[in-house]
Amino acid sequence: MRQEVFELPSTAKIEFRQIKLAEENLLAAAMKERRVTIDSVISEILSACAVGVVDAGPYDFLSVGNKPRWESMARADRFQAMVDLRCISYKDGHVFEADLRCPAMTCGHRFGWEIDLKTDLLRVPMPEESVAAVRDGRPFEVTIDNRVVKFTMALGKTEQTYNALLEQHEDRDMACALRSRIVEVEGLRPHEIMDWLDGGKGDKFEGLTSEDAEELREAFDLVEGGIDTALEAKCPRCKEYFDFDLPFSGMLLPGSGIAKRRRQARRRQEGKSSPLEDSTPTT
């Protein structure tokens, strides 16, 4: 059984053990049944595999030797722990294959794209000011539309907050996503914040311009660290480059090897081996 200490973007250090088959079952069942969210199963697996906190970093609610509390920790920590757990859990775990579809209108080709999780990803530590703010329990601040907006880091529980908001405010996806990070807006009551963001149905608020919303999103992104999930792939058919996000689901399961199987099938068809492996990043 492999064990390893992971240093997370927030500087917290946690010791992990490999994933066991029982946890793999849990995830496979969740993906099939869709009864529980993949998100909550991932947290469960990360907690099961965490041997204990080695260094609490900026989190005063963690104690050495105990389990991490993902819901209150930065989402960036959780994501990186998930990627690193995959790497130590499986044979060639650092190779992850994303199933992509070329976005070019005239193409739409589906293919597997291999990512080396150890070398292809940009890992950014959380900015020092953010680590200090988390340590002091201070929210972050930005001025938007002449009001000071106080907000938190994206936390493990932010996703749940967002889902709960979306249930209440159907068709207001953008506002819910922003609202899930906001603690307070200067001069507004909590129930007014949604309408301040997108105008709502009443005429009290005009709603933010897209430019203001973009500025708010940028302020949110600036305080984060962790793995940069924006990646680039090249379509093997039309040779176009396009951007995609490192997928979340499937990360804790062994590789499905779609690309490998397709390559092998194609080779069998062609009756020879191709010198170019089209689904391997060339850089």
**Minimum distance from residue 255 beta carbon to Zn ion (Å):** 23
Q: Looking at 102, 131, 153, 223, which residue binds Zn ion (CB under 5 A)?
A: 102
* Pick 228 or 232: Cβ nearer Zn ion: 232
Residue 146: closest CA among 196, 200, 101: 196
Which residue do the tokens 């940009």 mark? 122
Q: How far is the CB of 268 from Zn ion (least distance, A)?
A: 23
Which residue stretch of 20-28, 69-77, 108-116, 155-163 sits at the interface with Zn ion (rule: CB under 5 A)?
108-116
104 binds Zn ion (CB under 5 A): yes
Give the shortest CB-100-to-Zn ion separation in angstroms.
10
- Among residue numbers 217 through 236, which ones bind Zn ion (CB under 5 A)? 235
Q: What is the chain written as a DSSP string?
A: --EEEEEPTTS-EEEEEPPPHHHHHHHHHHHHH-SS-HHHHHHHHHHHHEEEEEE-TT-TT--TTS---GGGSBHHHHHHHHHHHHHHHSTTTTEEEEEEE---TTT--EEEEEEETTTSSEEEPPPHHHHHHHHHTPPEEEEETTEEEEE---BTTHHHHHHHHHHHSTT-HHHHHHHTTEEEETT--GGGHHHHHH--SSSS-----HHHHHHHHHHHHHT--EEE-EEEEE-TTT--EEEEEPPSTTTTS----HHHHHHHHHHHHHTS--S--TTS---
User: Which x/- pattern, by CB under 5 A, does the window 236-255 give for Zn ion?
Assistant: -xx-----------------
Considering only residues 109 through 148, tell me which ones interact with Zn ion, judged by CB under 5 A: 109
| 69/237 with CB nearer Zn ion | 237
Q: Which stretch binds Zn ion (CB under 5 A): 94-102, 137-145, 155-163, 185-193?
A: 94-102
Select the span of 42-50, 72-80, 103-111, 262-270 touching Zn ion (CB under 5 A): 103-111
Of the candidate residues 107, 117, 219, 253, the single one contacting Zn ion (CB under 5 A): 107
Specify the residue for token string 């530590």.
125
* Least distance CB 278 / Zn ion (angstroms): 11
Residue with smaller CB distance to Zn ion, 109 or 204: 109
| Comparison of 35 and 241: residue with beta carbon closer to Zn ion | 241
Q: Which residues make beta-bridge pairs with 279?
A: none
**Nearest to residue 249, comparing CAs of 109, 45, 69, 22?**
45
Q: Which is nearer to Zn ion, 16 or 113 (CB)?
A: 113
- Nearest approach, Cβ of 110 to Zn ion (angstroms)? 10
- What is the closest distance, in whole angstroms, from the C-beta atom of residue 119 to Zn ion in the complex? 25
Contacts to Zn ion by CB under 5 A:
102, 104, 107, 109, 235, 237-238
